[in-house]
Structure 1
Amino acid sequence: MNDSIPSTAPLSSSNSIGSILVATGRLSQEDAARVLERQQKDRVPFGEAAIALRVLTKDDIDFALSKQFDYSYLSDSDNTLSPELVAAYKPFSRVGENLRAVRSQLMLRWFNTDPDRKVLAVVSPGKKEGRSFLAGNLAVVFAQQGERTLLIDADLRSAAGGGQQKLFRLGKSVGLSGVLAGRAGLEVAQLVPGLPGLAVLPAGAVPPNPQELLGRPAFGALLRIASERFDVIIIDTPAGSEYADAELVAARAGAAVLVAKQNQTKLPQTAQFARRLQDSGVALVGSVLNES
């Protein structure tokens, strides 16, 4: 009996770095042959040989590696989404690394502590402090990890076309406000091209009664249904110091991550907002300082 551990099967030729880059138009057949010749001569990895010959860049190699390991992100030439979604376009940048670090902490502090903990609100006391940026990018990095991820824009105060609709460049459609008003269901959430496993439910039309809509049992029912279909649900919210909406949403979620912007967010305002959340039974699982 052979008790040795079998070696991993080699990647098929169609999944090699060279094949991926040729298939996607980043490398010609002629240049691929040159790279292979250089690789064999110098006995170096394919990517190193290609960069030495100046037929590929490090970004090209990173792109091919992401395809090999089923790690989805978009090329710079793809204008499907806003460039503010750094995790979708520059996942290996410093900001991308920071976003993955936040994801890891949220997994450890919230999502992995109980299988029923699937919902997280992104909150901040004031306007333009980075809530939507963080919520959108967190949704991307969770999807890149293989989690079935739903991003809900619960900022029903902003004009149509803003927030997550702007970041993900979604067309005008029924959104959360319509769902809570009983005019649609979760099926109106839109899948994001190029990022498998990620769906976005935009805010939709601005209603005259946003706080009342968010306080309806329909919102809780929506989250229960979504929790059966998704592994992670991230909710964007309006400014917490101006409206009670964020507290309502965070209370429904059960947990929140607090965003503060450097040289803008005031500490007393933040502390007061955090106390209100905790008094509402919300678990504050972390805070993020937006330095931009």
Structure 2
Amino acid sequence: MNLMIQKIPAEPGPSIGAILIDSGRLTPEAAELVLDRQKTEGIRFGAAGVALGLICEEDIQQALARQYGYPFLAPGDDSVSEEVVAAFRPFSPIVEQLRALRSQLMMRWLDARSGLRALAVVSPGAGEGRSFIAANLAVVFSQLGQRTLLVDADLRRPRQHGLFRLPNRHGLSSVLAGRVEVAEAITRIPGMIDLSVLPAGAVPPNPQELLCRPQFAELMAGLQTQHEVVVVDTPAAGESADYQFVAAQSGGALVVARRDVSLIRNIQSLVSSLQQGNVAVIGTVLNNG
């Protein structure tokens, strides 16, 4: 029997011009002007549009991201807070730094600690950028195609539901209290494809007791089998011992410090307490914001 294998050409994706028109960045009439300039000067469509002043470099980068299936949200989309900058400006300098952090974590954490997929994001005090880093780090992991879950384990001052515009009636606290199943509390983020969020839920009167329960350890173990990356936001270390229980069940921790805010002695104390609890401190991030 002779088999003849025929290569089927891949269906071409939309052109940069079509994407810019579809997103409202160019009118069809303006696109014709860009095409004329492109043919006359023998340059790329994007370069011609910039030369005419009809589009900017950021427009081109966003169109390229859409052309190559790189998930991001359109500017002005209010379904997610603008503080989640990685969801809106994937090529900005700050997001490039987040991608560099992602690369370091993949080498030091995901590859080195096989089977452990959860990372607790911790900081000595409030206002040091812990929730910001956790949210944006989860986004850049999901943009890599990793099935990512962001867990808000700050049962005292939760923020992730606000950043992702989610209702906070049910969440981690509800699951640990046995009021809902975890699948009911997790929300897939539209437009982000591989990103889901488990918000904190209603603030309970006994957050530490909930996190100490065997159910939390079982939950974290289960979540790590269902997702490739689990990023966990935690309460400020200086305000309670909650972070210790969360980090212990995560296995790894990323310490966030803020320039001109965090004290060195507090950072050292936090790292020491994590290590004493057999938590691998994967690295430290200095937040300049």
Query: Counterparts of 2:269 and 2:114 in 1: how far apart (Å)?
Result: 31
8 Å CA contact 2:21–2:28 kept in 1: the answer is yes
Query: Counterparts of 1:27 and 1:112 in 2: how far apart (Å)?
Result: 43
Amino acid of the structure 1 residue aligned with 2:208: Q
Return structure 1 stretches of 4+ with deviation > 4 angstroms: none
Determine the structure 2 residue equivalent to 1:284. Answer: 281
How far apart are residue 24 of structure 1 and its match?
2.5
Where in structure 2 are the equivalents of 1:102-113 lying within 5 Å?
102-113=101-112
Whether 1:219 and 2:208 are equivalent positions in the alignment is no
Whether 1:36 and 2:35 are equivalent positions in the alignment is yes
8 Å CA contact 2:168–2:199 kept in 1: the answer is no
Determine the structure 2 residue equivalent to 1:184. Answer: 180
Whether 1:166 and 2:162 are equivalent positions in the alignment is yes
Where in structure 2 are the equivalents of 1:81-120 lying within 5 Å?
81-120=80-119
8 Å CA contact 1:186–1:226 kept in 2: the answer is no
8 Å CA contact 1:139–1:150 kept in 2: the answer is yes
Amino acid of the structure 2 residue aligned with 1:87: A
Determine the structure 2 residue equivalent to 1:255. Answer: 252
* Local SS of the residue matching 1:204: coil
Using structure 1 for the length normalisation, give the TM-score. Answer: 0.92
8 Å CA contact 2:168–2:200 kept in 1: the answer is no
Query: Counterparts of 1:60 and 1:274 in 2: how far apart (Å)?
Result: 42
Determine the structure 2 residue equivalent to 1:150. Answer: 149
Query: Counterparts of 2:114 and 2:215 in 1: how far apart (Å)?
Result: 23
How far apart are residue 75 of structure 1 and its match?
2.3
Query: Counterparts of 1:15 and 1:179 in 2: how far apart (Å)?
Result: 43
Query: Counterparts of 2:23 and 2:263 in 1: how far apart (Å)?
Result: 48
Greater shift, 245-254 or 223-232, is seen at: 223-232
Amino acid of the structure 2 residue aligned with 1:130: G
Gapped runs of 5+ residues in structure 1?
A: 1-8
How far apart are residue 132 of structure 1 and its match?
0.5
Whether 1:55 and 2:51 are equivalent positions in the alignment is no
Output one character per residue of 1:18-71: Cα deviation in whole Å (capped at 9) or x when no partner: 121222232222222222222111110110011112222212211110011111
Query: Counterparts of 1:186 and 1:54 in 2: how far apart (Å)?
Result: 50
Of residues 230, 240, 252, the one that matches 1:233 is: 230
Query: Counterparts of 1:260 and 1:56 in 2: how far apart (Å)?
Result: 38
Determine the structure 2 residue equivalent to 1:5. Answer: none
Query: Counterparts of 1:54 and 1:274 in 2: how far apart (Å)?
Result: 51
Identity %: 48
CA-atom RMSD in angstroms? 1.8
8 Å CA contact 1:258–1:288 kept in 2: the answer is yes
Amino acid of the structure 2 residue aligned with 1:280: G
Using structure 2 for the length normalisation, give the TM-score. Answer: 0.93
Query: Counterparts of 1:125 and 1:25 in 2: how far apart (Å)?
Result: 44
Gapped runs of 5+ residues in structure 2?
A: 1-8
How far apart are residue 89 of structure 1 and its match?
1.6
